[in-house]
């Protein structure tokens, strides 16, 4: 089997390439990596980071077990091309984002938030617990079924089926609603004018609850009014989304910043929020310090 059918990237390569640099032979990009487990820095090819083997594969899709991976590439990851290039150009020119720009970014941010294992594994576990509890309470309903019928019923509790159901709900229901919610919030775009780049990670959409001082998924959600959403679009551009009520105190704008304390804080949040790895431009590897 080809590697392209094994490595399911939980963060799109097209996004990570903006934090990397072309190889000297122009055959791909490299990116700086900090490992949470070893606390060491190294350089790797973009294609070899932020992936989980066969993560989105579902055998219940008998016609194509890589259905979800292919759908993500077809419908969503292509947005990282022309659309994002146009938005980045507008930001660099200090042009205001219009509603369409916000909807495109909202779709990318919402999708990135729900596609990572930190979120999706949690939903699968919830689904498994609910299904098992239902079977426990209503087991008597299955007593008169034959062996084949029982197998069909109990197969619903298999992780593969639960994953498929979770992905269907997330992509077809949760994602469209999240796009609308995010695009209606208060947006502030920061252009980082420091030599220090913005970092990203294998879990790059940071939701931070300012009431509980927490990243916990129990205290954060795309539609909540007590958290902020932070997403580094490039090493130089940060998307900062606040509750809609903040529009009274925050003017939506694109703002240059040389505030080293602010950028360092944003990078610290990426380090704390990552699952396994933080990513940054490879030329910054000698200066990277996870404790600053």
| In a domain? residue 246 | yes
Q: Residue 61 has what pLDDT?
A: 62
Q: Residue 123 has what pLDDT?
A: 84
- Pairing mode, if any, of strands 186-192 and 253-257? parallel
Q: Residue 78 has what pLDDT?
A: 78
Q: Which residue, 2, 21, 7, 9, is CA-closest to 197?
A: 21
Q: Residue 4 has what pLDDT?
A: 46
pTM for the model: 0.87
Q: Residue 138 has what pLDDT?
A: 54
Q: Residue 169 has what pLDDT?
A: 86
Q: Residue 190 has what pLDDT?
A: 97
| In a domain? residue 289 | no
SS3 of residue 45 by DSSP: strand
**Where are the alpha helices (H) located in 139-277, listed in sequence order?**
147-154, 159-169, 175-183, 260-273
| In a domain? residue 72 | yes
Q: Residue 14 has what pLDDT?
A: 93
C-alpha to C-alpha distance for 118 and 204, rounded to whole angstroms = 11
Q: State which residues form the domain around 253.
A: 3-85+98-284
| In a domain? residue 292 | no
> Which of the residues in the chain have pLDDT under 50?
1-4
Q: How many domains does the chain have?
A: 1
Q: Residue 1 has what pLDDT?
A: 39
């Amino acid at each position: 089997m080809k590697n392209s059918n094994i490595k399911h990237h939980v963060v799109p390569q097209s996004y990570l390439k903006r934090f990397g640099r072309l190889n000297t032979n122009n055959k791909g990009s490299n990116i700086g990596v900090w490992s949470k487990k070893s606390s060491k820095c190294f350089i790797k090819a973009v294609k070899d980071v932020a992936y989980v083997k066969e993560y989105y594969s579902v055998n219940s899709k008998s016609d194509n077990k890589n259905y979800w991976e292919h759908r993500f590439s077809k419908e969503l990851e292509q947005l990282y091309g022309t659309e994002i290039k146009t938005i980045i150009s507008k930001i660099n020119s200090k042009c205001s984002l219009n509603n369409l720009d916000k909807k495109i970014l909202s779709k990318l941010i919402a999708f990135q938030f729900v596609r990572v294992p930190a979120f999706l594994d949690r939903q699968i576990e919830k689904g498994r617990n609910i299904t098992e509890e239902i079977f426990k309470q209503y087991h008597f309903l299955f007593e008169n079924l034959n062996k084949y019928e029982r197998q069909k019923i109990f197969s619903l509790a298999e992780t593969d089926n639960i994953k498929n159901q979770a992905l269907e709900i997330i992509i077809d229901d949760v994602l469209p609603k999240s796009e609308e919610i995010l695009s209606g919030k208060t947006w502030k775009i920061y252009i980082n004018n420091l030599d220090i780049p913005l970092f990203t990670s294998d879990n790059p959409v940071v939701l931070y609850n300012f009431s509980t001082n927490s990243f916990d998924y129990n205290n954060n959600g795309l539609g909540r009014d007590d958290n902020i959403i932070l997403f580094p679009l490039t090493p130089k551009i940060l998307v900062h989304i606040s509750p809609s009520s903040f529009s009274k105190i925050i003017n939506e704008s694109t703002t240059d910043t040389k505030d080293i304390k602010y950028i360092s804080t944003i990078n610290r949040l990426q380090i704390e929020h990552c699952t396994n790895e933080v990513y940054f431009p490879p030329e910054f590897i000698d200066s990277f310090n996870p404790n600053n």
